[in-house]
Amino acid sequence: MITISVDMDACENYGQCCFEAEVLFRLDDDGKLVFTAQAPDDRLADIEAAADACPMQAISLMES
Amino acid sequence: MKDQVVIVGAGLGGLRAAESLRGAGYDGHIVVIGDEPHLPYNRPPLSKEALAGGVNVEDLHFRRRPTIDDVEWRLGAKVVSSDLEAGIVRLEDGSEIPFTGLVIASGIRPRQLPIPGPTTGRVLLRNADDAAYLRDRLGPDTHLVILGAGFIGCEVAATARKLGAEVDVVALDPEPLVRPLGEEFGAAMRRHHEANGVRFHLGRTVQEVLGDDHVTGVRLDDGTELPATVVLEAIGSVPNVEWLDGNDLDLSNGILVDDSMRVVDSPVPAVAVGDIARHPNALFPGEPMRVEHWNMPTEIGRHAGKTLAALLAGAEPDPTPFAAVPSFWSDQYDLNIQSFGMPGLGDPVLVDGDIDGDCIVEYRKHSGEKDELVGVVGINRSKDLLPYRKTLQSRQQ
């Protein structure tokens, strides 16, 4: 499993992660980020791409 | 010689190239050479959060994928020349580092005008040291004059106002951010800044920096004198290509690469990544361009690493041409500005909201019968921009 965490103080809800890892990251009706904290290993490339793309560099991930 | 990739430049582009090489299966040695003493770090905060709150490079370091743990970092080392045919780059201390594959990721530096006057108190903003220097000089007793009204100029203006400094912006352009946003939207940005106490001197240039040992002011071309304790020059950038001189490459504006990011006319496997690469983009056909947006080194790096790994394995690169949607964002006051595409290629149309508040502006290009979306800019409307990115990404089909 991959554990995703987002520094919500840094997050500015730009939504760039939502393109890279759809479903896992999304903006809600108010435009605020919601994300899934645990993801299967086969989403690693998407999650890394989401972390790469974040303008605020607020996304971190841990493989376990 | 066993395969060795040398990456010149330890910024975002160099990092992404290293990760992509490993991702594409290249398992030879990688040496990354950077002229700053730091591991790759994120630069955009240097005009915003880090400038406001204090510059700590450790906090700005990028995450490095575990796959590049064995990369050799040669930091604080400057590459001064190269011989691609012979497969070597030379450092300032005269040492030579051999390579079988080269990644050009040496980036850009701020342009500096030859304006007469004292140099102490004049600053450029590119790296963490620059930001720390500027940070130490910003406060309620500061009078900052900024030359240039692009992103860096405007972001620093907003940050400096937050820190209580007096701010004057001098630019030859008719409005701030006119090149990426157009005149009308630029004027709205000017009004935001003016409401926050920034003074603009547009259509003007600085003829002289005043003061004996230290900056005390500037004189504009119309004779106006503005007091200043610090002067920031933020008038664009110059690609760091000098170390490539003598290799018969096209260095006319950065380094020219093909649609696989391979360096044109290179005698050896070589790619370029990031702000320095002048590249085609299948989504925006036409002349190759350098696009200094933050997402591009990541997009280009992904492509370039794969290309170089293929070349080193004796294979042809993936023929799928590079295609990416450029994107920028900017924080100024309570405005989150975000863009997708190439707004500079089209004419702006306000499609939603108020140009002086939250809004969406489409940029459309008309040629003959065709009226197509080439870019979009939104203020505080990130969610509504998401569908635009998808539309722009599908331009190639």
Pick from B112, B138, B135, B140: nearest CA to B209: B112
CATH code, residues A2-63 = 3.30.70.20
Q: Which residues of chain A are within 8 Å of residue B65 when distances are taken between CB atoms?
A: 48
Whether B397 shows a pLDDT value over 70: the answer reads: no
CATH topology assigned to domain B4-109+237-312: FAD/NAD(P)-binding domain (3.50.50)
Q: List all residues of chain B from 163 to 222 with a beta carbon under 8 Å from chain A.
A: none
Pick from B212, B230, B216, B48: nearest CA to B137: B230
Percent of chain A having pLDDT more than 90?
91
Percent of chain B having pLDDT more than 90?
95
Sign of the Cα pseudo-torsion (B43, B47, B50, B56, in order): positive
Whether B131 shows a pLDDT value over 80: the answer reads: yes
pLDDT band, residue B396 (cuts 50/70/90): low
Average pLDDT, chain B: 96
Instruction: Write out the H or E segment, with its range, that includes residue B52.
Output: helix B49-53
- Common-topology check for domains B4-109+237-312 and B112-233: yes
Q: What are the tens digits of pLDDT across the range B4-20?
A: 999 999 999 999 999 99
pLDDT value of residue B184 = 93
Q: What are the tens digits of pLDDT across the range B251-309?
A: 999 999 999 999 999 999 999 999 999 999 999 999 999 999 999 999 999 999 999 99
Rounded distance between C-alpha atoms, residue B110 and residue B124, angstroms: 7
pLDDT value of residue B36 = 97
In the block, residue with structure tokens 């040492």: B95
Domain ranges in chain B are: 4-109+237-312, 112-233, 334-396
Q: Which CATH architecture group holds B112-233?
A: 3-Layer(bba) Sandwich (3.50)
Contact A14 B382 (CB under 8 A): yes
Alpha-carbon distance B176 to nearest alpha carbon in chain A (angstroms): 22
pLDDT band, residue B158 (cuts 50/70/90): very high
Domain ranges in chain A are: 2-63
Instruction: Write out the H or E segment, with its range, that includes residue B245.
Output: none
Q: Does B391 touch chain A (CB under 8 A)?
A: no
Q: Which residues of chain B are within 8 Å of residue A18 when distances are taken between CB atoms?
A: 386
Rounded distance between C-alpha atoms, residue B313 and residue B21, angstroms: 12
Q: What average pLDDT does range B63-77 have in this prediction?
A: 96
Rounded distance between C-alpha atoms, residue A2 and residue A42, angstroms: 9
pLDDT value of residue B54 = 87
ipTM of the prediction greater than 0.90, yes or no: yes
pLDDT value of residue A18 = 93
Q: What average pLDDT does range A32-54 have in this prediction?
A: 95
Distances (CA, A) of B29 to A31, B4, B22, B76, B244: 44, 5, 10, 20, 22
- Give backbone dihedrals phi and psi of A58, rounded to 5 degrees, phi first: -100, -5
Rounded distance between C-alpha atoms, residue B180 and residue B358, angstroms: 18
